[in-house]
């Protein structure tokens, strides 16, 4: 929000906001300023009520700027999340279609009569990527066990095979290894790839939500007073054209955004870890290659079993007992062999879309690493005095003159001697501390993902709900055991700061006060 006052040649004033309003104003006289509680107590154009109203207005303006900056960043991160989430689901769907097309042609009845086994696998993979409490290792183990049962049944249809016998068959999969080494290799690839992908997507969601929630934190009364002194006290002194000194604005903003700056360390850690995870998404072992190769790997495993069906049958008969004839007259093994054609991945090599997604998000994350400590400079950039002689003619909180105090550092602990904003550094904002914890937890999970360790995302009390994130939003998502996160750093307790000293200064007694009478009317218009 911003206001602009312009004087017309006939002595009338325009308020330029979303609309333009012309107002006739009488001339005004300067008043003694002993009644002022925020602005310098020299001669002034402001009454106490005007000063209070302007303080509220400055706070509303500042909070509006913070929300707008946060909204822009949140939108950017949400866009990155949707791009990754959508593309990975697209890959899963393309892989499923490829399997259906090629298996229908190459495996015939063996596939069509058992297609549910394969479609269930892809359903579980989709649910996992969308945040459902799905254990990938269990999903893959169940898939191979069911596939063994189905292929054994298909190859021995001339015999009577009951459920108990099939259960015994599936239990022999570890010792028998009918599919060779493919299940183990596929489990390693799929688990590492999907864990990284889901964790990365979740990292984008969490970082966006942290921005959204922190941007809605209300500013303190001390910040409101400091913003008032910087923004509207020049108007009360008849210096409506005076702009804040650069260092003065920096101290005000660093004080107002001290808690936000404390996000910096964990925010950078999260961004750096996410870039490491993103680096694994492209290349020969990346998401594209792993997902699109699933049909050919599964077909290869099935061919391994059919090639060795006589040996496998012999060992299963020894473990589970002989079968009794009485099934269909045709021999299932012969039909399975007629369908033996190596599956070719007819999906064209995935375009450079993943490469571009990784490149775009990496650049964005790198640019955002210093976001929280850059906010003061960003918010000061369009309001401070610039140009020749600006340091001598800018508003320093008392008058038009050079601003002498040094600029404070970033974060709450650095504000102990901030001359512009009174801050109790022993009382950090709890909402922001909660978001710092969210960043720590998410970084911990991403580091686990780098090591191939899966985590459950449904246990975080501050996780996204109803924000359209796509994480476990379907009815198929199930509740599972809660992951206990490690205790992270203890909160830091700071010593009590010394009281800021109040400074009084003399003000010029003859001030042009006409423009200040606009401000109460402007406030009323804004409240409509």
Residue 161 confidence (pLDDT): 81
Do the beta carbons of residue 393 and residue 383 sit within 8 Å? Answer: no
Q: Nearest Cα to 206, choosing from 465, 487, 416, 515?
A: 465
- Cβ neighbours of residue 424 closer than 8 Å, sequence gap 6 or more: 496, 497
pLDDT band at 524 (very low <50, low <70, confident <90, very high): low
Could you read off the pLDDT of 215-241 as tens digits, one per residue? 999 889 999 999 999 988 888 888 888
Give the pLDDT score at 432: 96
Cα(136)–Cα(197) distance, integer angstroms: 13
Per-residue confidence band for 132, with pLDDT thresholds at 50, 70 and 90: confident
Query: For the whole model, what pTM was predicted?
Result: 0.75
Structure tokens, 479: 């509740």
pLDDT of residue 270: 96
> Which has more pLDDT, 152 or 343?
152
Is the pLDDT reported for residue 135 higher than 80? yes
Q: Rounded mean pLDDT of 295-300?
A: 94
What is residue 279's predicted lDDT score, i.e. its pLDDT? 86
Residues 67 and 59: beta-carbon distance below 8 Å: no
Q: Which pLDDT tens digit goes with each residue over 458-487?
A: 444 344 333 334 444 433 344 333 333 333
- What is the spatial distance between Cα 201 and Cα 447, in angstroms, rounded to a whole number? 14
Nearest-angstrom CA–CA distance, 294 and 95: 7
CA dist list (Å): 233 to 50, 84, 133, 304, 459: 11, 48, 56, 82, 49
Percent of the chain with pLDDT over 90: 43
Cα distance between residue 302 and residue 291, in whole Å: 18
* Between 3 and 393, the higher pLDDT residue: 393
Arithmetic mean of pLDDT, 502-525 = 48
Average of per-residue pLDDT across 418-445: 94
CA distance 440 to 490: 12
DSSP H or E segment with residue 57: helix 48-106
Query: Backbone phi, then psi, for 20, in 5-degree steps?
Result: -115, 130
- Mean pLDDT, residues 306-324 taken together: 86
pLDDT band, residue 355 (cuts 50/70/90): confident
Residue 117 has pLDDT above 70, yes or no: yes
- Closest by CA to 390, choosing from 245, 235, 527, is 245
Give the best-scoring range by mean pLDDT among 269-273, 335-339, 340-344, 497-501. Answer: 269-273
Segment 235-251, tens digit of pLDDT: 888 888 889 999 999 99
DSSP state of 157: T
pLDDT of residue 499: 41
pLDDT value at 37 more than 60: yes
Average pLDDT of 194-213?
93
Per-residue model confidence as pLDDT tens digits over 62-90: 999 999 999 999 999 999 999 999 999 99
Q: What is the DSSP string of 276-324?
A: HHHTTSSSTTSHHHHHHTHHHHHHHHHHHHHHTHHHHHHHHHHHH-PPE
CA 477 to CA 18: how far, in whole Å? 46
Q: Averaged over 448-465, what is the pLDDT?
A: 61
Residue scoring higher pLDDT (519 or 57): 57
Q: What is the pLDDT of residue 95?
A: 94
Average pLDDT, the chain: 78
Which residues, in sequence order, are CB contacts of 281 under 8 Å at separation 6+?
196, 197, 200, 287, 354, 357, 358
Distance CA 123, CA 129 (A): 10
Q: What percent of the chain has pLDDT over 70?
A: 74
Q: Assign 299 a pLDDT band (cuts: 50, 70, 90).
A: very high
């Amino acid at each position: 929000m911003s206001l602009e006052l312009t004087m017309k040649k006939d002595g009338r004033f325009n308020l330029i906001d979303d609309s333009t309003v012309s107002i006739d104003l009488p001339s005004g006289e300067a008043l003694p300023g002993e009644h002022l509680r925020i602005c310098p107590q020299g001669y002034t154009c402001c009454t106490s009520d005007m000063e209070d109203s302007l303080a509220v207005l400055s706070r509303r303006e500042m909070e509006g700027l913070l929300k707008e900056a946060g909204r822009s960043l949140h939108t950017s991160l949400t866009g990155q999340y949707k791009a990754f989430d959508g593309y990975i689901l697209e890959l899963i769907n393309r892989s499923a279609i490829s399997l259906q097309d090629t298996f229908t042609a190459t495996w015939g009845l063996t596939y069509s009569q058992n297609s549910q086994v394969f479609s269930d696998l892809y359903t579980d993979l989709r649910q996992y990527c969308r945040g459902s409490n799905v254990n990938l290792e269990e999903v893959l183990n169940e898939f191979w066990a069911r596939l063994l049962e189905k292929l054994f049944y298909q190859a021995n249809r001339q015999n009577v095979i009951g459920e108990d016998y099939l259960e015994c068959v599936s239990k022999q999969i570890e010792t028998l290894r009918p599919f060779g080494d493919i299940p183990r290799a596929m489990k390693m690839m799929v688990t590492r790839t999907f864990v990284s992908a889901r964790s990365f997507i979740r990292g984008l969601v969490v970082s966006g939500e942290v921005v959204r929630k922190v941007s809605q934190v209300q500013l303190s009364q001390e910040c409101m007073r400091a913003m008032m002194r910087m923004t509207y006290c020049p108007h009360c002194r008849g210096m409506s054209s005076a702009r804040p000194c650069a260092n003065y604005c920096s101290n005000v903003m660093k004080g107002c955004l001290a808690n936000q700056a404390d996000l910096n360390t964990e925010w950078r850690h999260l961004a750096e870890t996410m870039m490491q995870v993103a680096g694994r998404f492209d290349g020969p072992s990346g998401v594209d290659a792993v997902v699109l190769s699933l049909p050919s790997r599964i077909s290869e495993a099935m061919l391994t079993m059919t090639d060795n069906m006589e040996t496998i049958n012999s060992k299963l008969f020894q473990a589970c007992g002989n079968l009794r004839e009485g099934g269909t007259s045709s021999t299932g093994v012969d039909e399975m062999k007629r369908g033996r054609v190596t599956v070719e991945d007819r999906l064209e090599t995935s375009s450079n879309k993943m490469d571009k997604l990784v490149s775009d998000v990496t650049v964005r994350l790198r640019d955002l690493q210093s976001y929280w400590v850059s906010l003061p400079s960003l918010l000061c950039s369009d309001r401070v005095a610039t140009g020749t002689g600006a340091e001598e003619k800018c508003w320093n909180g008392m008058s038009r003159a050079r601003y002498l105090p040094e600029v404070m550092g970033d974060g709450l602990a650095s504000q102990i001697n901030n001359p512009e904003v009174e801050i109790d550094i022993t009382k950090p904002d709890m909402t922001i501390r909660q978001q710092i914890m969210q960043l720590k937890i998410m970084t911990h999970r991403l580091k686990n993902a780098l090591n191939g360790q899966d985590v459950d995302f449904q246990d975080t009390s501050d996780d996204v709900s109803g924000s359209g994130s796509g994480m476990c939003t379907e009815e198929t998502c199930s509740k599972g055991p809660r992951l206990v996160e490690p205790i992270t750093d203890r909160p830091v307790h700071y010593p009590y700061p010394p009281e800021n000293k109040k400074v009084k200064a003399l003000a010029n007694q003859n001030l042009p006060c006409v423009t200040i009478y606009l401000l109460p009317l402007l406030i009323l218009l804004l409240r409509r």
